Each structure stands twice: as structure tokens, then as C-alpha cells.
Structure 1
Amino acid sequence: MSRIANLPLELPNGVSLDQQGDRITVKGPKGEISLSVPETVLVSVEDNTVSVQPSEKAKTYAMAGTIRSLLGNHVHGVSQGFEIVLELVGVGYRAQVQGKNLNLTLGFSHPIDFTIPEGVTVEARSPTEIAVQGHDRQSVGQVAADIRALRPPEPYKGKGVKYKDERIQRKEAKKK
């Protein structure tokens, strides 16, 4: 059984945690995130330390660990932020940000306009590199996965949109 809920969570300078009923709001220099806590989990704040405790029932231990992990992600997000870097691999594949749209040329007969959602910043560092940044880990990961799903990497030549640290398992071509 995981013991992540037993670890205290330290709040860095500039990050505040407000608790009102079952709603917890984490505020920091990068933004603000709210989290709904079930009534079976007790969250207490003392000085700059947050502790999460389950109720007596055995089923609430897993939920306490989940809430502790989510709070840790929110604290990290509002203080430092999250970033996922994507690479475009292929001849003629390129990306360009224009306002609230990400224009992609991915080898189709038409360009793709991807609308950037609120709370997430997309930056084209070069024509073949895209950085997705934000303070909410879930939304940053979802936007990066949506962009990758437009043209996932294929196993024969490795062409497509891939994560920067992703390794593509290559297949051997068919032999005569």
C-alpha cells in the first residue's frame, strides 16, 4: 500500500492555500487552481505545511493519497509550472502560432488549425518544436496529447508528432 498521504507537503514562498468547506484553492505566482476534496479526507494547514489524513475506513486511504498527489501537483504548478515539449519529425512538417491558433502542416492535403484552450500557452520554439506550458498538469498533458494525436509517430520511418523524450520503437521494412 502506498504511503504518499503520510508525507507532509511544504508550501514554497509565494504560494498560499485557502480552504473553504470541501473546496481548496491554491494560489501562486503562475496562477490559481481549485480542488474539491471529498468529506472522507481531512486536509489541515499548519504554518507552511499541509497534511492529508484519511478517515477510519480502509477505502479512504487511496483517496487520501490521490488528494495529496493532486495538491502536490497544484502547488508545483502555481509555483514553477509544467512544460511538455513536442517534436515534429518529417519532411515539410512545421508549426506556427498565430494568436489563439496553432497552425500545423503535417503532411496532409490541408493545414490543421488547432485552437489553444484557456490556461495553456503553446509556443513554437522552432518550426519543428512545440512547447506546451501551463500551471495545471492535467490540462497541459491533455493539450499535448491532443496535438500528438493529430499525427502520431509511425513505426517504419518515425514520422509524426512525438514527445521530446519519447523513443519510437522502429519496425523493419517488409522484405521481398
Structure 2
Amino acid sequence: MSRIGKRPIELPSGVEAKVQGNFVEVKGPKGTRSFHANDDVTVALEENALTVTPRGNSKRARQQWGMTRTMVANLVQGVSDGFKKELEISGVGYRAQMQGNVLKLNLGLSHDVDFEVPEGVTVSVPKPTDVIVEGIDQQLVGQVAANIREWRLPEPYKGKGIKYKGEYIFQKEGKKK
């Protein structure tokens, strides 16, 4: 039995959910998200909580049970609180700034990097070395943060580059004379 799947998803105040067959739509203060569940599970709305149950006892139904519950819980969290990834830029002369819908990155390359921010995600730069990516879609927020980080991955000798806030970069020892 899935320990994750059997827990109901409580709807916070201000969040509404509609279930039509296997289609779940969640509305909240930050926006609207929807998810089409697999045919191996059943999603039901009961007393201000969503529950997911497997149809049958097959291995695939049990696998989809926990995954579907997590996906629906992410919808609820996204429309109520949202998701956030914080990036830190370290290195001499490395900095970022927002110009309209474009994130300009100076990363020691021969040119500045202009990163077009996709719709559904907001990027802010409170300090030139901090970048905050926010949105209601967890997958999109994580992908945008990974795409920004990909421009200059942290290197293991000096630790220069773009890293997630709180990420530890293992420092290697350089050559000895």
C-alpha cells in the first residue's frame, strides 16, 4: 500500500477544485492549473479534500497511485503558495540584471547572455549576484532555473559559476609545485 497515495490532499482556504472523471482543475489566488490523471487511478473530491485511489491491485495502478497524488498536491501548492528556486552567482565580474522580460547575465564570456524568460515564470534580481525564479508550475520553475544555471555551471577549483542557494560545491585541490 502506498504511504504517499493514501494521504488525502487538504485544500487550503481560497483554493477550489473540480473533478470530472480523471480531469482535475484547481483554482487559487495565484492562478489555475489542471491535470489529467491516468486511467489506473480515481480522483475524488470529498469534504474539502482530494483523495486518490487505485483501480484494481495491478502493479501499474499502485505505481500511478502515489505519483498522481503527488502531482495533484503540487497543483494545490502551486496555486496557493507557488514554487521558488534561488540561484547564486559567484565569480569576479559575474552579475545579472533584469531588463523587461530579459535576464542579462555577465558570466565572463566574450558576450553577455540574454535569457528570455518564458511565460508563466517570473524572474527577479534583488542583488546582482542573486536570481529568484518563481511560478505556479513546479516543473517549469525548475527547468528555467536549470537553464539559467547551465550557462555557467559551478567549477570545482574556485567555485565560480551559478549554483542553487544552499548547494555545496566540493572544492578540489589545485596542482602543487
Q: TM-score, normalised by structure 1?
A: 0.97
Alignment partner, residue 83 of structure 1: 84
Alignment partner, residue 145 of structure 1: 146
Alignment partner, residue 39 of structure 1: 39
Alignment partner, residue 126 of structure 2: 125
Contact 2:40 2:60 in 1 (8 A): no
**Separation (CA, whole Å) in 2 of partners of 1:21 and 1:100:** 38
**Separation (CA, whole Å) in 2 of partners of 1:31 and 1:173:** 50
Question: What is the identity percentage for the equivalent residue pairs of Structure 1 and Structure 2?
Answer: 52
Unaligned runs of 5+ in 1: none
**Separation (CA, whole Å) in 2 of partners of 1:117 and 1:63:** 30
2:67 aligned partner, one-letter code: T
Secondary structure, aligned partner of 2:59: coil
Deviations 1:118-137 (A, max 9, x none): 10000001000000000111
Q: Note the C-alpha offset of 1:2.
A: 4.0
Q: Note the C-alpha offset of 1:21.
A: 3.2
Secondary structure, aligned partner of 1:4: coil
Alignment partner, residue 110 of structure 2: 109
Supply the RMSD in Å over aligned alpha carbons.
1.0
1:150 aligned partner, one-letter code: W
1:82 aligned partner, one-letter code: F
**Separation (CA, whole Å) in 1 of partners of 2:38 and 2:82:** 26
Deviations 1:33-77 (A, max 9, x none): 111111111001012111100011232111010010011111111
**Separation (CA, whole Å) in 1 of partners of 2:130 and 2:2:** 37
Q: Is 1:98 matched with 2:82?
A: no
**Separation (CA, whole Å) in 2 of partners of 1:73 and 1:153:** 29
Deviations 1:104-157 (A, max 9, x none): 000001000000001000000100000000011111011001000110000000
**Separation (CA, whole Å) in 2 of partners of 1:85 and 1:51:** 32
Unaligned runs of 5+ in 2: none
Alignment partner, residue 14 of structure 2: 14
Alignment partner, residue 51 of structure 2: 51
Alignment partner, residue 28 of structure 2: 28
Q: TM-score, normalised by structure 2?
A: 0.96
Q: Note the C-alpha offset of 1:20.
A: 2.5
Q: Note the C-alpha offset of 1:22.
A: 2.8
**Separation (CA, whole Å) in 2 of partners of 1:17 and 1:98:** 37
2:154 aligned partner, one-letter code: P
